[in-house]
Amino acid sequence: MPVVTFSATGRDNCVVVAGTPYVYATVGGRGFVMRAQCPHRGGPLHLADVAEDGVRLVCPWHERKTSVSRMRGEIPAVRTGGRVTAVFPDRPPARGWPADPSACGGVSLEHRPLAPALTRGRVAAG
């Protein structure tokens, strides 16, 4: 299981691990690491809006809602200052479409910016 430390804020809050892009996000004042792609069709979940109920993210491709609490529990992570350290699975998640490594620059285990990185709606970087 790769353990990776990367920026928790701004445009460098992304890392690709085993071909899957992940970002650090803050929803409702709580931070967590999540997959940057929708588990349903691989849409850019890092560009999602937060649903009116405040507990789900709305995929910008097909408006499917994904539970924030489920996303929070998938990747163990600890934030210290402006950095986050997370423990990632060795393989991409079984559900969802194959990841597009270009979402974070296409480089495994190196952080690369997403454009824009979690700035729409109430989803915020860091």
In this prediction, residue 82 carries a pLDDT of 92
Residue 17 belongs to what domain range? 3-125
CB-CB contact of 14 with 114 (8 Å) = yes
Alpha carbon distance 73, 111 (integer Å): 21
Instruction: Kindly report the CATH number assigned to the domain that includes residue 96.
Output: 2.102.10
Report d(CA 110, CA 116) in Å as an integer. 18
pLDDT of residue 33: 93
Residue 5: predicted pLDDT: 92
C-alpha dihedral sign at 68, 69, 75, 80: positive
Domain count for the chain: 1
Q: For 75-88, how does the pLDDT look when each residue is reduced to its tens digit (9 = 90+)?
A: 999 999 999 999 98
For 78-125, what is each residue's pLDDT tens digit? 999 999 999 988 765 554 434 444 445 333 333 333 333 333 333 444
